[in-house]
């Protein structure tokens, strides 16, 4: 997931989190705070390190908040962009733990596993993402690429 697709996915995840926070009456510290704006990645002025710091600050405000699934997922995606795959996988694991039906976290964890060359895990995650949501952006393409990479690696 790159550029506009990434920003769009993060914007959607942030809207979901903000909506659930305001409906649930939980503190609105997440909605439009500087940390939230940096974490959601929708503002191009934030560097990857600033995005990570924003997500980390949001999570630190209330580490046990189930709505942190989005911040963990966004930080996972940013770690993936930095090619820090183990950190990305850890954050996607936490996002999935908090929201087991969040297809984006499975897709993003698949990207991290693909980056590590762990194609079986990546394929399983892309398949789970598609099982949860057939419209999750790029999961079908990511699945095909992981399957091709696995076949290529096996042929060598």
- Domain 3-151 matching CATH 1.25.40.10: the answer reads yes
Quote the distance between the C-alpha of residue 142 and its chain's center. Answer: 14
Q: Give the model confidence (pLDDT) of 103-150 as tens digits.
A: 999 999 999 999 999 999 999 999 999 999 999 889 999 999 999 999
For the segment 61-109, what is each residue's pLDDT rounded down to a tens digit?
Answer: 988 899 999 999 999 999 999 999 999 999 999 999 999 999 999 999 9
> Is 42 in contact with 11 (CB distance < 8 Å)?
yes
The answer to whether 117 and 130 have CB atoms below 8 angstroms apart is: no
Task: Note the pTM of the prediction, 2 decimals.
Answer: 0.78
Q: Which residue ranges make up each domain of the chain?
A: 3-151
């Amino acid at each position: 997931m790159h550029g506009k697709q990434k920003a769009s996915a993060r914007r959607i995840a942030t809207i979901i989190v903000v909506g659930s926070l305001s409906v649930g009456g939980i503190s609105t510290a997440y909605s439009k705070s500087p940390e939230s704006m940096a974490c959601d990645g929708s503002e191009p002025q934030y560097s990857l390190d600033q995005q990570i710091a924003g997500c980390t600050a949001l999570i630190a405000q209330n580490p046990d908040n189930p709505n942190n699934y989005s911040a963990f997922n966004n930080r996972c995606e940013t770690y993936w962009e930095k090619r820090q795959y183990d950190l990305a996988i850890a954050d996607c694991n936490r996002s999935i733990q908090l929201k087991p039906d969040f297809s984006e976290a499975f897709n993003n964890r698949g990207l991290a596993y693909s980056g590590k060359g762990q194609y079986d895990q990546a394929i399983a995650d892309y398949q789970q993402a598609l099982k949860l949501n057939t419209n999750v952006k790029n999961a079908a393409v990511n699945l095909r690429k992981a399957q091709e990479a696995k076949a290529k690696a096996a042929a060598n």
